[in-house]
Amino acid sequence: MAILVVGSVALDEVETPFGGRKDALGGAAVYFGLAASYFTSVQLVGVVGEDFAQEHLDLLAARGMDLGGLVTAPGKTFRWGGRYGYDFNARDTLYTDLNVFADFDPTIPAAFRQTPYVFLANIDPTLQLRVLDQVASPEVVGLDTMNYWIERTPEKLKRVLERIQILLINDSEARELAGEPNLHKAALAILEAGPRLLVVKKGEHGALAFARDLLFAVPGLPMENVVDPTGAGDAFAGGFLGYLAASGDLSTEGLRRATIYGSVLGSFCCEAYSVDRLVDLSRGEIEERFETFRELTRFEASRTAGTQ
Amino acid sequence: MAILVVGSVALDEVETPFGGRKDALGGAAVYFGLAASYFTSVQLVGVVGEDFAQEHLDLLAARGMDLGGLVTAPGKTFRWGGRYGYDFNARDTLYTDLNVFADFDPTIPAAFRQTPYVFLANIDPTLQLRVLDQVASPEVVGLDTMNYWIERTPEKLKRVLERIQILLINDSEARELAGEPNLHKAALAILEAGPRLLVVKKGEHGALAFARDLLFAVPGLPMENVVDPTGAGDAFAGGFLGYLAASGDLSTEGLRRATIYGSVLGSFCCEAYSVDRLVDLSRGEIEERFETFRELTRFEASRTAGTQ
């Protein structure tokens, strides 16, 4: 089944101690869409400015993405700049120039309104609600949000949470959303607020999936060559929901696999600047890394239990 | 096979936002020994003061620990006080009164010198070397250390590392020891310095095991009821090395299992103040939690691969 993603399309500037990149393709909808494109058809709704290079559009189209909902507006594309230190888990935002994204009011093309899977990337909950008002009742709506909206528009966000099935956020966001420092308790409280499934992304520490009948954890893959973790959370969401949309398997076994595919795409994302690694993957590489996660985490019970 | 542990025996004071405990049994050798006692015979070498209550000795003896190397010296027992905030991953040390531990110079009783498994808890590397000089060539020596020794006695620590097989430290210690922010690269550098196996403890984020032919990760078990994480790292080491000593299985499969048993004992440790949870476990509870970790982490490949 196809998946519709609504969110930011950006031009990023990234600095790390080892190098950097300017005017690089970025944005949550882009990272999500590219990751999901390895599993299913992706429809993208977003806005760019007149400075958005044709090569970026070509690159998205080459991954089979339907750009019928990507509007070009007068002005500049959303631009974000960030700097990582030696600890890639923390970054400083250098600037956030919303530009044409400031007036983003997503219009879902008629051809996308029946799409059964929807991902609302991190944008103003008011806009997320407007998207939901435009689509026919989708089978699965996935959602991302951030501390900014948790603090500034909690009531709007609450209404969004009541209308979605899968929330994918990071651990500090989960704690803040629930007002609860214990992550497990926070997760249970969030499940009471609407979503059937909560996926907590923890960067290099992996991810957790919580549902009424599921508690699943995947560790982060230790990586020697982290180049740029920008977009890894969105790539995770793309791998996760892309796999679900393709398989239609919403069983707990399917959700476990989706969490692994999310981890796989998130890990690839970190291996190069911008979206470089997400545009040239092969099915074989994805399946190989799925198996890497199995080898990373598998263990057998001992034949002699050993305890006394 | 039996295991010898050399390290601190302490009386702890712990404060958390939800309560606390004074004059509580603690110390690395105690946490380690109690955890290991569920797997094998434990010999303890340490020192306490005249204020050390008989009930604590009785408790250790009741778990079958051989206290023939636990000296009572004139003065007070090592006392440590710490405070946790809502985030149990961080704590403030309120005081560290070494007392009799300041002059600790471990003497290994003759009866313990042939013990095949040895754990050197976190003490001055000079003392760790003296212990190694007193024991016959053990099959496996496990080691803990901390930033304090990495910074102040790097040469001594280097000599210790050349004489041990398994290093169990936390992630920040691994990065500092190797002088390398990337944890995977740091691990590979540490394996070059002596130990055959490096186990990196990451608190609520789980643990990693690195060897030339092994890369294994276990996520942290999401817990609703963390009461007091003090000693969890030592309990992890006790479960890990206790299982290895009992099974004698140093294969990569055995090391995977040991990492799970370490995680099991570490998680139990957090469920109550001081050593309370480590003194009343049953073999059934330990095996049940081993299975909980399997259920937490298992996943199957899909029959239809799903990628395109």
What's the pLDDT tens digit per position in B137-170? 899 999 999 999 999 999 999 999 999 999 999 9
Question: CA of B39 to nearest chain A CA: how many angstroms apart?
Answer: 4
**CA A207 to CA B296: how far, in whole Å?**
12
Query: Which of A247, A295, A307 shows the shortest C-beta gap to B286?
Result: A307
Cβ-contact B202, B191 below 8 angstroms: no
The rounded Cα B148 to chain-centroid distance in angstroms is 17
Q: In what order do the strands lie in the sheet with A91-97?
A: A19-26, A10-16, A78-84, A91-97
What is the DSSP-derived secondary structure letter of residue A184? H
**CA A101 to CA A107: how far, in whole Å?**
13
Window B:170-209, CB contacts with A under 8 Å: 181-185, 187-188, 202, 204-206, 208
CA angle B287, B293, B295 (to 5 degrees): 105
Cβ-contact B274, B26 below 8 angstroms: yes
Both structure tokens of B236: 């992890």
CB-CB neighbours of A51 under 10 Å: 14
Contact A181 B86 (CB under 8 A): yes
CB-CB neighbours of A239 under 10 Å: 31
**Three-state DSSP state, B81:** strand
- What is the pLDDT confidence band of residue B303, given thresholds at 50, 70 and 90? low
Both structure tokens of A181: 């420092």
Cα nearest neighbour of B291 on chain A? A301
Burial of A292: CB neighbours in 10 Å, binned 0-12, 13-18, 19+: middle
**CA B107 to CA B130: how far, in whole Å?**
9
pLDDT, tens only, B70-91: 999 999 999 999 999 888 888 9
Contacts of A206 in chain B (CB under 8 A): 205-206, 217, 219
Cα nearest neighbour of A40 on chain B? B308
- What is the pLDDT confidence band of residue B308, given thresholds at 50, 70 and 90? very low
Asked if the ipTM is above 0.85, the reply is: yes
Contact A287 B305 (CB under 8 A): yes
What is the DSSP-derived secondary structure letter of residue B102? G
Domains defined for chain A, CATH in brackets:
3-297 (3.40.1190.20)
How many interchain CB pairs under 8 A, A with B? 152
What is the pTM assigned to this prediction?
Answer: 0.96
Query: Which of A184, A286, A295 shows the shortest C-beta gap to B222?
Result: A184
Query: Which of A40, A182, A261 shows the shortest C-beta gap to B224?
Result: A182
Contact A205 B208 (CB under 8 A): no
Helix axes A232-247, A28-36, angle to 10 degrees: 40
**CA B207 to CA B216: how far, in whole Å?**
8
Element (H, E) at A241: helix A232-247
pLDDT, tens only, B82-123: 999 888 888 999 999 999 999 999 999 999 999 999 999 999
Contact A301 B215 (CB under 8 A): no
Contact B307 A283 (CB under 8 A): yes
Please report, for residues B13, B16, B25, B166, B301, the alpha-carbon distance to residue B83 in angstroms, rounded to integers and kept in the order given.
Answer: 8, 6, 16, 30, 44
Beta-strand pair B78-84/B10-16: parallel
Question: CA of A133 to nearest chain B CA: how many angstroms apart?
Answer: 30
Q: Is B107 on the interface with A (CB under 8 A)?
A: no
First-residue to last-residue Cα distance in chain B: 52
- Amino acid B87: pLDDT: 82
**CA A198 to CA A189: how far, in whole Å?**
10
Contacts of A253 in chain B (CB under 8 A): 299-300
**CA B246 to CA A265: how far, in whole Å?**
40
